[in-house]
Amino acid sequence: MTPDQPTDPLADQPTDQELLRAHVDGDPDAFGVLFGRHRDRLWAVAVRTMGNPEDAADGLQDGLIAAYRRAGSFRGEAAVTTWLHRVVVNACLDRLRAAKVRRTETLPDDLEEYGNRGSLASATEAEQDPADLSVRDERRRAVLDALATLPDEQRAALVLVDMEGYPVAEVAEMLDCAVGTVKSRCSRGRARLAVLLGVLREDGDAAHPAPGNPDPPRPVRSTTAPRAPPTPADP
């Protein structure tokens, strides 16, 4: 390599799998580094699955403790990120099933700070009209409220596929179910959201797919991602 060639700052960084193995082998810092890489997307999935930041923090904490303790069971059949999402989503769903509630709270107003994290993106609001921002915020809240009314499994599938942008096959691994099951859950969830959010469709600001199409363009994309909580203490 010549002096003029740029170096890759991540070239010397351990991979996710190497970090997980180091954690299993007793490295006290490896799991924290691994979580730090993926905390924003894990938090986004947790908060959208649970419906509010307080329960999401509990669900994420449960998931991370489970991942910390079960790291030795990871066999490498899937990516480490897929495995982490599976553990966190399952922890959130377990909490929802135990509580037997359907959350309807909207998400907090501090979501804009993480608007460019993960697979999500937001426009530069400084250049937008305040009236437009108010309308957009109202519609985003309507989408989140509608999402909270879905059955837990449908909501989890839609969060991962439509809001986080994961491929259906990878979501099937995360949720430990068949690809067809994920498609079915997404299709039924989208059909339900299309009914609940019909006013948005009439205004031309939300594209809702036909119920029979499992893989249309993503119709329910929030433009922001929530604030991540502090890294949980080691169990």
Return the DSSP state at 112: G
Residue 207 resides in a domain: no
Residue 29 resides in a domain: yes
Per-residue pLDDT of the chain (235 residues; tens, 9 = 90+): 455 554 544 557 899 999 999 999 999 999 999 999 999 999 999 988 888 889 999 999 999 999 999 999 998 888 999 999 999 999 999 998 887 644 444 444 443 343 333 333 333 444 555 555 566 667 767 777 788 888 989 999 999 998 889 999 999 999 989 999 999 999 999 998 888 877 455 544 444 443 333 333 344 444 344 444 545 554 4
Residue 151 resides in a domain: yes
Q: Which two tokens stand for residue 217?
A: 């363009």
Handedness of CA 214, 187, 87, 104 (dihedral sign): positive
Number of domains in the chain: 1
Alpha carbon distances (Å) from 13 to 10, 37, 71, 145, 231: 5, 12, 20, 40, 20
Residue 233 resides in a domain: no
The domain in which residue 92 lies consists of: 16-202
Residue 38 resides in a domain: yes
Residue 222 resides in a domain: no
Residue 120 resides in a domain: yes
CATH of the domain at 62: 1.10.1740.10
Residue 22 resides in a domain: yes
